[in-house]
Amino acid sequence: MADQNTTHRYAPNAFELNRLPVPRLGIVLGLVGSNGIGKSSALKVLTGKLKPNLGRFNAVTKPQHVEHIPNVVQGNVGQFLSERDTKQELAAELELIQVMDRNVGDLSGGELQRFAIATVALQNADIYMFDEPSSYLDVKQRLKVGQVVRSLLRPDSYVIVVEHDLTLLEYLSDFIFCIYGRPGVYGVVTLPFSVRDGINVFLSGFDRNDNLRFRDETFTLKIVETPQENVEEIEARARYKYPTMTRTQGNFRLKVVEGELTDSKIIVMLGENGKGKTTFIRMLAGLLNPDSVEGSDVEIPMSNVSYKPQKISPKVKCSQLMDKHIEKLSGGELQRVAITLCLGKASSNPYDYEPSAHLDAEMRIVASKVIRRFILDGKKTAFVAEHDFIMATYLADRVIVYEGKPSIDCVANPPQSLMTGMNLFLSHLDITFRRDPANFWNRINKQEATEHWEQSYYYLDD
């Protein structure tokens, strides 16, 4: 890239950022790209925290790492938000009503994320910037956040979002800039694209405006068909049945409807946070006993489950891994290590809770392919709880849909096909998808789009 396109360089022979995304009044601008190639640096330049800047603007930013917020914000959630003349509607929209009396330091990751988004949305600013607003949030909460972000649009305001969840990025963006390069070395910002073209450029790895290929591999998200198996191989598959059972923990009650599992299959669990996905897995693993079991002829299969939690702690004693201490790994590096450890445990059925967390969009696709190939070759049954639609639909052979009121009373339906399960799940969210013919990624239909009203809830055919 020519020197005249360099916007910022941290030091001689250090990382350089080429070009900037140009905000536009009255639209949401999305940024997509791998980790470490300048997305956050571009936001800092636009806010004036890095020189040069674009002038004097009143800009507010939702930071990438919300887990650090308690280090700088002390006090009660309600008091902090009330100082900014909060509206009851926004607190209800972001599900903050129930934590208004809680200390900021006591909030969970998802609650911190929604709290940070609320504090930014309540300010009167010229530029609103959101760095990875989907982290720690379930599907329903992500859609709510998308609606809140778009509600900030005014004829005299700018909105910029950095996001790795391509579904959410499409849902809330009007235009997209792709950022490519080499992590830690340089980053290049493309010219603006429409939402569909921008995501397609990112997936294809080719910028037609500069006639430049920035990635050797082109990503397609066509669901991989399972290889043809003969009758003997099908009959040789291990099958596990589990009975209808219930479990009550405090004020929460979970009912699991009887179902069947087979090996070499990935079961994706779809539902909001707090609906009992981990409770169900712990019951299958024999770590929790059900309060009642219906159908004495079916016993609970004792499964050896390898568990990767939602939050990864760097205190795991794995400093012998490669040449890097686990305590010094980034969030994305920790996630990749945790996925590897979960898959690599001998004689275990992996349970991967939100494998997309902290991974960039490119690495999410790579991780999905690795997980799928490993489960197929290892003849294991994998359980995945995932809120990224693209990753969930690529991985799933069968889906378990959770229904009910989170943290109160929920039902885990039996495993069903991807088409049937997605139709059921998306009907509760009132959103629809269609397939992009170029690379088969699931494109979300915006509420005002004609496609949303003319098609069924989920479209899977190529």
CATH of the domain at 365: 3.40.50.300
pLDDT recorded at residue 296: 56
Q: Which residue among 213, 240, 258 closes a domain?
A: 213
Domain-located, residue 222? no
Higher pLDDT, 112 or 380: 112
Do both 361 and 437 map to the same domain? Answer: yes
What's the rounded Cα separation, in Å, for the pair 453 and 450?
6
The answer to whether residues 428 and 403 touch, using CB atoms and an 8 Å cutoff, is: yes
- At 346, is the pLDDT very low, low, confident or very high (cuts 50, 70, 90)? low
What's the rounded Cα separation, in Å, for the pair 198 and 179?
10
Q: Which of 81-85, 106-110, 362-366 has the lowest mean pLDDT?
A: 81-85
Do both 383 and 272 map to the same domain? Answer: yes
Do both 62 and 182 map to the same domain? Answer: yes
Domain-located, residue 223? no
Write down the residue that tokens 């990935």 correspond to. Answer: 266
Do both 237 and 209 map to the same domain? Answer: no
Domain-located, residue 221? no
Q: Taking the mean position of all CA atoms in its chain, how far away is CA 72? A: 26
Q: Which domain holds residue 419?
A: 231-454
Do both 197 and 237 map to the same domain? Answer: no
Do both 201 and 280 map to the same domain? Answer: no
Contacts of 412 (CB under 8 A, 6+ apart): 254, 255, 256, 257, 269, 275, 276, 277, 280, 400, 402
Do both 268 and 324 map to the same domain? Answer: yes
The total domain count for the chain is 2
Do both 245 and 206 map to the same domain? Answer: no
- At 87, is the pLDDT very low, low, confident or very high (cuts 50, 70, 90)? confident
Handedness of CA 340, 345, 347, 350 (dihedral sign): negative
For residue 151, pLDDT over 50 is answered with: yes
Write down the residue that tokens 């830690």 correspond to. Answer: 184
Q: Which of 28-32, 151-155, 248-252, 343-347 has the lowest mean pLDDT?
A: 343-347
Domain-located, residue 267? yes
pLDDT recorded at residue 462: 46
Q: Which of 59-63, 432-436, 453-457 has the lowest mean pLDDT?
A: 453-457
Q: Which residue among 157, 187, 213 closes a domain?
A: 213
Domain-located, residue 461? no
**What angle in degrees, to the nearest 10, is found between the helix axes of 331-344 and 361-378?**
10
Q: Which of 299-313, 347-361, 435-449 has the lowest mean pLDDT?
A: 299-313
Other CB atoms closer than 10 Å to residue 106's CB: what's the count?
12
What's the rounded Cα separation, in Å, for the pair 368 and 376?
12
CA Rg value for the chain: 23
Do both 183 and 278 map to the same domain? Answer: no
Do both 276 and 242 map to the same domain? Answer: yes
Do both 206 and 237 map to the same domain? Answer: no
Domain-located, residue 354? yes
Q: Kindly state the greatest CA–CA separation across the chain.
A: 75
Domain-located, residue 362? yes
Which of 186, 188, 190, 189 shows the shortest CA–CA distance to 209? 190
